[in-house]
Structure 1
């Protein structure tokens, strides 16, 4: 039996990965790591270990020792910071002999900085990119983009830190941060027309499996409600993006529809927080990743079941 380690086992991405692994017909020993002593992780894992903070001194040494001590075969980053930190230490991880579920190394820092990412799209004349600027000239922005505007953090995710600008007064409160921290975009579409697509990149400019859902976000920025959809237009756009960035393994693409076009919001080069929902409809990214990173077997397109999903708070009872 293979030993699988998942970080962030207390969180939505982490236990989504774990629950998806449990759907596989192949049994695995799942080791969850978390910074919390009283999380839900023991309800899903065979073994739970308390980890130091991901950005603390000694974290990587602790992780490497844990991998060796528990003879871990494969590791999944289930926490956003771990994607970056593991990628920065990827060779040390691989030197233990463990398989690491990690996308193309160059793509991870590129997607972390949305301005750098936009510049690549612009250099490739990618037509579905949202126009993005570092200008702090409100009059020019209003004349060329209209109102409202969005001020988006260059680094970050889950819609955290986004400022909706409807007037110059609000703009001026944040204008000094434009460039170093924030970038400017027009407000496009609406919250009812957001889509999340998972594709399994082959590393050569294509993908071998794909699934799209129309979604509604929670206040925390995660998918709260989702409906399975098919969209040839989105699939064509994902093909074009894969040709540019050549992702490897699980990759998440987020879109917003505007005037009949699907505009790219961002790419997350990892398993997304909606992985457990996708698995329930037949698109099991963690299982695909196990087969690819352990056995070098690219997935085939699975049959996707139709339906919708709603997330809600649930109790998990640990009896003494």
Structure 2
């Protein structure tokens, strides 16, 4: 069975390795493509192809369709263009390719827009932090006046972003230059931010939020069209170099299962939580494999393998091993030659 991962995040290298490790019968032939011929996953897959560059969304979709036909792809697990491809299952099915989408197209669109996602999320066990969207200086000031009396620290982040890009804690005491010289990460001076926003006049949709300063949890999951098949919770330490703790909190598992049902989550996905004022809060759903997928799988269940084999054969044929709760895990970098 021929399986294609197109261009996606670097965690795909670990995922392909985990699948090949579990596939002792050699049933799956893994294909990977990327515009960069030197990516690590090119060395892990059975076959690698260089993707074209400069294509618009429609042209890229057409290229994917032609690639699946040419390479006789049975299962396509998209990264790039995943939201658009989630609405094209019928076109690919007509040539014999099944697409493993993380959710229906309308749900993926919602999940990627945090302002709408937060506004529509009803999760009593882990509600989202208080927030207000803004695009102009006046909207920011109105939001600041509404939230600041109730929260000691506020932060900002884009409504649409990955890897925490654009996130910053608003520092009311120090300038951005002082923060930079002090080596303070993810912080910006409030006065400097206000001045910059006034200079811009308007910006992309941003969220002004209460800052959550408690423990952070990353949950790597496998779903079957809304049913949570397996979840592994990692608690991230406040300080680097201490590894991460597998912490299977039932309230986190319950909240994750509810999100899976609500959004019909499928395949491998990730959910982020954080505590604030002693209460669990939802940060986001990542409709993709997380960067820590390898660490999660050290705890027992091989999530990429479970997702692929379950999608291929039906989850009734898949055995999910127990999670080794309480162990501490880490990821070690290994140098290698690319060419």
TM-score w.r.t. the length of structure 2 is 0.80
CA RMSD for the aligned pairs?
2.9
| Aligned position for 1:40 | 40
CA contact (8 A) 1:54 1:82 kept: no
Structure 1: any 5+ residue segments left out of the alignment?
Answer: none
CA contact (8 A) 2:131 2:208 kept: yes
Q: Does 2:308 correspond to 1:290? A: yes
Write the deviation string for residues 16-41 of structure 1: whole angstroms up to 9, x where unpaired: 22112112134221111011123323
Write the deviation string for residues 137-156 of structure 1: whole angstroms up to 9, x where unpaired: 23333223332x11110001
* 3-state SS, counterpart of residue 276 of structure 1: helix
| Aligned position for 2:12 | 14
| Aligned position for 2:265 | 247
CA contact (8 A) 1:151 1:185 kept: yes
| Aligned position for 2:209 | 185
Aligned pair in 2 of structure 1 residues 55, 49: CA closer, same or farther (>3 Å)? same
Larger Rg: 2
Could you tell me how far apart the structure 1 residues matched to 2:126 and 2:294 are? 32
Q: Does 2:233 correspond to 1:215? A: no
Match of 2:219 among 184, 197, 200: 197
* 3-state SS, counterpart of residue 164 of structure 2: coil
TM-score w.r.t. the length of structure 1 is 0.84
How many residues get paired?
A: 307
* 3-state SS, counterpart of residue 238 of structure 1: helix
The equivalences for 1:116-265 within 5 A come to 116-121=116-121, 128-134=127-133, 135-136=139-140, 137=142, 138-147=144-153, 149-167=154-172, 168-172=190-194, 173-174=196-197, 180-190=204-214, 193-204=215-226, 206-215=227-236, 225-265=243-283
* 3-state SS, counterpart of residue 151 of structure 1: strand
Aligned pair in 2 of structure 1 residues 13, 142: CA closer, same or farther (>3 Å)? same
Could you tell me how far apart the structure 1 residues matched to 2:278 and 2:301 are? 27
Structure 2: any 5+ residue segments left out of the alignment?
Answer: 134-138, 173-189
